[in-house]
Structure 1
Amino acid sequence: MKRKYSRHANMPKQAAVLVLAVLSASVYATDGVTESTPLTHTDRMIVKYKTTPLQAMASGARVNAMAERLVTAQRVGQQFGVNLKNFRQTATGAQVMKLDRKASLDELNKLAVQMKAQDPSIEYAEPDRMMKPLFTPNDARYSEQWDLFETTGGMRMPQAWDLATGSGVTVAVIDTGYRPHADLTGNLIGGYDFISEMEISNDGDGRDADARDTGDAVVAGECGNGKPKQDRSSSWHGTHVAGTIAAVSNNSSGMAGIAFNAKVLPLRVLGKCGGYTSDIADAIIWAAGGAVSGVPANTNKARVINMSLGGEGACDTTTQNAINSARANGAVVIVAAGNENQNAANSNPANCQGVVTVAATNRSGGRAYYSNYGSVVDVAAPGGDVRSSAANGILSTLNTGMTGPGVDNYDFYQGTSMATPHVAGVVALMLSKNPSLTPDQVETTLRSTTRAFPAACSQCGTGIVDAHAAVVAAGGGTTQPPAGEIESNNTMATANTVVSSGMTLTATMASSSDVDYFKVTLPVGKTLKSVMIPGSPLADYDLYLYGDTGTLLASSEQGAGRTDTVSGSNTGTRSVVRYVAVKYYSGGVGTAGGKYSIQFTW
């Protein structure tokens, strides 16, 4: 038996790579201080009735039955000291009911339970929770877009732009609407204002085809329950998000958007104090081409939906149903992880099913101090950190107005709200090269082509999104994955990414101290099999399989000239990262005697 060195000698321990980050609260910057303000009260309920019995009734009987349902709901509401009135119907057929006062989510969840107990025709009932934009603005301005091109913390955009620029793809930005901006002119298309509450809309009317942002400034305490604690200027949040995705490029001014030939469909759902779940859900459905009562058909169907917003608690049934509808229509839903520096399992929509959840990294490529984390996060992207310098934030289009609109400008923000449009822009590039990709295929490709974190980012997804690798793997690029090993790959952090099953790479054991690492993102239910064949009968190299934190999962230590094989299955509920390592034991090295081939299948 040949002697082997320790399996753990010189083994770098990569941080685990799956993260969940949800948006349980808005985060704002006030004189450099970050304030977390979860919205815990609302004055609306969403009630979904079982519709089948009503469909069989005559119209008059149906009206009477609906009136009886309201009376039953009102009786239950009186027990909780609230009066309920029908307000409107959502795109999924649920009824939005208006309360005569704001009540806590805990109180309204109890009301929902009692409503279902008193009326068996109710399919589900839940509070119509308020969502808010996630951001931490800073008033300094610089022109550097490190998030696009810097080696350490950037997205490798210049290489990706050689392959795609987003042509033919529409990205819906579900946010505060937009301000007309010189650097967005030509890339804004259609849009709609989905805010149904006059007090929130701040534009003098309800729903209409004008998605322009009139401002979301509030004074201290205006949103109820003592919030916000201080006066807030207008954020122009949706305009900042839209610029990251598709600001015009090559126009000799301003900044470059990630998918600068894509179109942005602005959908206004957030106004003063935030926005309601029911309005957001309608916008999600409509963005992807679904029908919403009272709203004209969407003639600019979006393939990508960006939601840099959120609220606390589990994923609402209303929101999940809307996401399911959008996915069924082919839309990829990208959501922010949240800015509370916590596990985001109790926040939404980042904890909804079928979304791509995004954590934020700083300029050093590590987890931004505010970013949420956890097992539902898919990937990370630059979100910035302006504490030491505004230049370390994310630059994008903005407006100078403190309350109402002013003039065009640019500014640096930080937050998972800023990280999310980075990923939405990359997805637009992917779909412009390969429109046939499904939402699941997009998510798998994004996760499998990330690059390793250059700094600590525990539970931040599989890595930082690599725009160039994602576009290549999407199948539409002219650059093909390499047929051979690319040095250096002597650590997990520099491992060569294997982008598809069936790949066979040629490689070289450069010296007796050489170790070659290869990274695979293994889908749910798949078994990775790696086979290493030495190129010389004298060569004795060994094969090892590691988990994402450096834990040894399998090994093969055959003798000289023998083939080594390792395998491992993913029995979990999400894709996982695996590392395959080839290590020298004895025999030939270098270009003359150190050749070998390695195959990956799953």
Structure 2
Amino acid sequence: MRDRPARRLFLAAALASALAAAAVAGAANRPQAAGKPRAVPGSIIVGFKAHVSAKGRSGVLGAVDARPTKRFAQIDSTVVSVSPANTSWTIRTLEQDPRVAYAEPNFVLHAADVPNDPSFPQEWGLDNTGQQVNWTSGTPDADIDAKEAWSVSTGSPDVTVAVIDTGVDVAHPDLAQNIWINQGENCAGCRTNGIDDDGDGYVDDWRGWDFVNGDNDPTDDNGHGTHVAGTIAAAGNNGIGITGVTWNSKIMPLKFLGSDGSGSTEEAISAILYARAKGVPILNNSWGGGDFSQAVQDAIELTDQSGELFVAAAGNDFTNTDADPFWPSSYDTPNILSVGAGDQFDRRAWFSNYGPRSVDLSAPGTNIYSTCAATSLSVTLPSERPSVNANPELVRRGPAAGSTSTTPSAVQAPRRGSSLRPPVQS
């Protein structure tokens, strides 16, 4: 069981003061685990033991004909390329080298789904009156008491949340004003000058980064990340669309999942370390899959050391994750908040993973209305498995379900509380 008493007390206080957070965004269909987890062909992540020199690392990799493609100095690991046919042999050989801490596949990961805003009445997770949403009428007050929280605070622009996902529709009218801007790349002409003005290793990253394509345009071409972002911080009281749990906080779009909703361990680590380097206090992770990764755990442990909260989806497989872990929410790291899905009747959603030791809390996760990317215009029925969706009749907003829809809700508890304290630089 994770040792996080202080975190639990903090969350309990936040919830008790009605600054708790709530739910949302659509979860993409995730292939069911069957046998060995998928991995990027011919790609391995190698972690080295302390004090192994650059020459030593080069010798280790050269001996197995492994070509370095990326270095994570923060966690002392290297991504290497090998012949796909030799991947298993290379991992076994590296594991036998006393200078190597671990060698593992580069796993494939997946997306797991009283203001004047006209669609606020559809957001039962914020205020449940028993209204009908997607043909379902729920139990009154089975919600996060958002209206009560808003009487204390509607959020602060000084608080930023990293949405590590499929990107965000940064031009969406309900999100554009709340997209994070990197001030180090925001001087006159700096956004597009082709220069790494802030020296962070990313050129013109003025509003986040696309780790899938290696560029500065984190635009969502799947829909999942936009749904997540809207749940967290769609602009409130602006007369259009929906409202986020917090009306004014900033969203940092970090795209590591592609248009098909999948990405790699390497790209996930890159996004996590980027958010940490920028000092973002909360990282939203509505994704999962693969197998245990020491490299991912090392990256998350760094965020714990610097005081960030890592909110992660518990998963949508109706599985007890105490016995059958779901990554990354099951890593034994104190700053992880694992979030399951609840329904409109204040019950655990039928598909949500569960576990008294591995799942920390549940948040609204069925029939969740939120913002939708311009490219995501399909419809989901409430009886289907969770999927990213939007209804074109709802003008780029629509319902979705899944524990990946709940992590943005849980993000709100600590973040809403932090907006009442001195801001963390982001």
Show the 5 A alignment for 1:295-306. 298=278, 301-306=279-284
Q: Which of these residues, 278, 282, 287, is aligned with residue 275 of structure 2?
A: 287
* Inter-partner Cα distance in structure 2 for 1:430 and 1:170: 13
Map of 1:373 onto structure 2: 354
How big is the shift at 1:93?
Answer: 2.9
Cα RMSD (Å) of the superposition? 2.7
Show the 5 A alignment for 1:165-176. 165-167=154-156, 168-176=158-166
Map of 2:51 onto structure 1: 52
* Inter-partner Cα distance in structure 1 for 2:255 and 2:231: 17
Is the 2:232–2:244 Cα contact (8 Å) retained in structure 1?
Answer: yes
Runs of 5+ in structure 2 lacking a partner? 1-25, 114-118, 129-139, 182-206, 378-389
Q: Which amino acid aligns with 2:51?
A: T
Map of 1:164 onto structure 2: 153
* Inter-partner Cα distance in structure 2 for 1:35 and 1:210: 27
Q: Which amino acid aligns with 1:193?
A: W
Is the 2:28–2:111 Cα contact (8 Å) retained in structure 1?
Answer: no
> Is residue 397 from structure 1 mapped to residue 371 from structure 2 by the alignment?
yes
Q: Which of these residues, 303, 308, 326, is aligned with residue 286 of structure 2?
A: 308
> Is residue 278 from structure 1 mapped to residue 254 from structure 2 by the alignment?
no
TM-score, normalised via structure 2 length: 0.71
Moved over 6 A (4+): none
Q: Which of these residues, 67, 71, 76, is aligned with residue 89 of structure 1?
A: 71
SS in 1 for 2:419: helix
Is the 2:314–2:359 Cα contact (8 Å) retained in structure 1?
Answer: yes
Q: Which has the larger radius of gyration?
A: 1
Q: Which amino acid aligns with 1:192?
A: G
* Inter-partner Cα distance in structure 1 for 2:85 and 2:33: 17
Is the 2:282–2:308 Cα contact (8 Å) retained in structure 1?
Answer: yes
* Inter-partner Cα distance in structure 1 for 2:418 and 2:150: 13
Deviations 1:450-471, CA, capped at 9 Å, x for gaps: xxxxxxxxxxxxxxxxxxxxxx
Map of 1:189 onto structure 2: 180
> In structure 2, do the counterparts of structure 1 residues 35 and 363 end up closer, same or farther at CA, with 3 Å as the change threshold?
farther
* Inter-partner Cα distance in structure 1 for 2:98 and 2:210: 31
Q: Which amino acid aligns with 2:49?
A: K
* Inter-partner Cα distance in structure 1 for 2:81 and 2:294: 18
* Inter-partner Cα distance in structure 2 for 1:116 and 1:370: 37
* Inter-partner Cα distance in structure 2 for 1:194 and 1:88: 16
> In structure 2, do the counterparts of structure 1 residues 356 and 367 end up closer, same or farther at CA, with 3 Å as the change threshold?
same
How many residue pairs end up in the alignment? 331
Map of 1:322 onto structure 2: 299
Runs of 5+ in structure 1 lacking a partner? 1-25, 56-61, 75-83, 136-140, 196-200, 216-234, 291-297, 385-392, 438-602
Deviations 1:85-130, CA, capped at 9 Å, x for gaps: 3211124231101244389xxx84x75343221x221121111111
Is the 1:194–1:280 Cα contact (8 Å) retained in structure 2?
Answer: no
Q: Which of these residues, 28, 38, 61, is aligned with residue 40 of structure 1?
A: 38
* Inter-partner Cα distance in structure 1 for 2:259 and 2:105: 19
> In structure 2, do the counterparts of structure 1 residues 436 and 398 end up closer, same or farther at CA, with 3 Å as the change threshold?
closer
Map of 1:362 onto structure 2: 343
Q: Which amino acid aligns with 1:418?
A: S
Map of 2:94 onto structure 1: 115
* Inter-partner Cα distance in structure 1 for 2:216 and 2:266: 18
* Inter-partner Cα distance in structure 1 for 2:44 and 2:402: 30
Q: Which of these residues, 200, 219, 223, is aligned with residue 212 of structure 1?
A: 219
* Inter-partner Cα distance in structure 2 for 1:27 and 1:256: 19
Is the 2:246–2:412 Cα contact (8 Å) retained in structure 1?
Answer: yes
* Inter-partner Cα distance in structure 2 for 1:184 and 1:28: 20
Deviations 1:459-495, CA, capped at 9 Å, x for gaps: xxxxxxxxxxxxxxxxxxxxxxxxxxxxxxxxxxxxx
SS in 2 for 1:270: coil
Map of 2:167 onto structure 1: 177
> Is residue 124 from structure 1 mapped to residue 98 from structure 2 by the alignment?
no
* Inter-partner Cα distance in structure 2 for 1:417 and 1:250: 25
How big is the shift at 1:272?
Answer: 4.2
SS in 1 for 2:218: coil
How big is the shift at 1:35?
Answer: 5.8
> Is residue 434 from structure 1 mapped to residue 421 from structure 2 by the alignment?
yes
Is the 1:27–1:339 Cα contact (8 Å) retained in structure 2?
Answer: no
SS in 1 for 2:84: strand
* Inter-partner Cα distance in structure 1 for 2:46 and 2:350: 38
Identity of aligned residues (%): 29
* Inter-partner Cα distance in structure 2 for 1:326 and 1:249: 30
Show the 5 A alignment for 1:480-495. none
* Inter-partner Cα distance in structure 2 for 1:36 and 1:320: 23
